[in-house]
Structure 1
């Protein structure tokens, strides 16, 4: 098994007052994330890639690849509902320097397992890069299908599990795929400890908390679940609880964390986005004060 393991944070995309990409802040985010010791860096839905133009997607990826400079793998999400656009995105990602792709199956219509394998085979042939499958609620991947994909599309070597209940899905996935796929957790990383017990070999959280996730991961790998749980419950779960209250509030929460760390100049979220109500804003301010007193660095 040669898949990606460890903590592989997803970058957030900073925007300036014109809602253009703030590449200066992006490069600072990359360095701050790498300084925590992560195993890789990703660009995906957490990066608002669905709000970027095709040109911006390429420019963001090239800037990240340039800043990473080969220190860790760079993962690019190239999911698309059609095979032709998915192939184009994958080829462009390979040309721009991505180390790996991350893809969920076509989700516009359920067209069956054979079509999923054909789709992934076309993408793999176009890019010739290792692929992380993404098992998401809008396009779930059963353990049996994951195993079949791994057997028929050799470049697929990892799966990120995000369908609910994630802990049970990780357990089922590990039991079925065995050593054919490396299993990672997702969905914000709040159940990393439970997933690790069941065989998950890492997770892909927001880059804004790369430091605390690395602290949890090191404790888990050292066999100290008590230390891992203490950090997760004190530093990660309060952020997750607030961020997932509704709509896309998690973008606002995690970008504000990066502003507090002097990584981003602004917490702007590119439209469309839901405005934070006054109560939630007060809760966010209280959370920031609490996190500021903790000993473990967020990033």
Structure 2
């Protein structure tokens, strides 16, 4: 049950070759990299996974490869699409392949609470009894879901087992969501883990974020949940400069993939074109940030 989800559900990157083809071999090494650094599960075909650049067939292929390589560990697949018919088709394919559930965000253009309620009523009527992560990411979708609307969706649709909360400010909304009466759902958070220790203090069940050093996400989570909150904050602070540097929309994804290429997680760092390119100055900044990160970790005794 995804409602019991805890720990790090890392947002997986989609690896590409230099000619823009999908790099399935790097899907394997990337999956191993994530789990070897403490991930509890994966979330694939998310916004930073460049899902909008894939064909339907490629989306199925990539999701299937991650699911197979995960060998029974949880994999959630992003299926958001303005077309409910296409959303339904991708959902059926990935669930048949062994996905643990799917993540859905409301499409741009929903303007009222009733629009949101009607949209998800139509979605669940179409896809049936599938475990759902409801993604609340207004910066990306342009749709703001209030806490009362989210509460109604949870009450009406037992398929919703997780809220991915990445509205801003996330911490105040997390508190209001966690205080809701009725059925408990898991709360995981994104926003590139920029507020992770504070969000853990507000009662989240873990991050659903991407970062080139997933061991930070898992270690901070483990320290915080073990009651070692001061240690969790200090460790987090060692990685914060690089984390902030990666938190620059699609350009930041290019940085993240380059760092993971250097760490052996994938062969080629490029995003599918059209995409941002890192110049020599950006590479020098990455060198500096990684060096400072190592110094900070060493000073902390890590």
TM-score when scaled to structure 1? 0.90
In the TM superposition, residue 11 of structure 1 has moved relative to its aligned partner by 0.9
How big is each residue's C-alpha offset from its partner over 1:217-261, in whole Å with a ceiling of 9 and x where there is no partner? 1100111111111111111x212211234x511111111121121
Question: 2-side partners of 1:79 and 1:225: how far apart?
Answer: 35
Partner residue of 1:17? 18
| Unaligned ranges ≥5, structure 2 | none
Contact kept in structure 1, 2:60 and 2:90, CA below 8 Å: no
Conservation of the 8 A alpha-carbon contact between 1:117 and 1:152: no
1:99-158 C-alpha deviation (Å, 9 max, x unpaired): 111111122343623313313313541xx3210100011223221111111111111011
Contact 2:166 2:190 in 1 (8 A): yes
Is the Cα–Cα contact under 8 Å of residues 117 and 149 in structure 2 kept in the other structure? no
Deviation for aligned residue 1:163: 1.0
Note if contact 1:162-1:185 (Cα within 8 Å) is conserved in structure 2. yes
Q: CA–CA distance in 1 between the matches of 2:93 and 2:211?
A: 24
What is the match of residue 206 of structure 1? 210
- Tell me the C-alpha RMSD between the 2 structures: 2.1
Which residue does 1:133 correspond to in 2?
134
Q: 1:278 to 1:272 in 2, by over 3 A?
A: same
**What is the 5 A alignment of 1:248-287?**
248-276=250-278, 279-287=281-289
Deviation at 1:207, TM superposition (A): 5.5
Residue segments in structure 1 that go unaligned for 5+ positions in a row: none
Q: Give 1:184's match in structure 2, choosing from 183, 188, 196.
A: 188
Q: Return the alpha-carbon distance in structure 2 between the equivalents of residues 78 and 173 of structure 1.
A: 24
Tell me the CA shift for residue 288 of structure 1.
2.8
Go from structure 1 to structure 2 and tell me whether the alpha carbon gap of 1:267 and 1:36 turns closer, same or farther (over 3 Å shift).
same
Aligned partner (choices 225, 233, 236) of residue 221 of structure 1: 225
Which residue does the alignment assign to 2:71?
69
> Is 1:65–1:98's contact at 8 Å kept on the other side of the alignment?
yes
Q: Cα gap change, 1:262/1:205 in structure 2, threshold over 3 Å: closer, same or farther?
A: same
Q: How many residues align?
A: 291
TM-score normalised over the length of structure 2: 0.89
Q: Contact 2:192–2:211 (CA<8 Å) still a contact in 1?
A: no
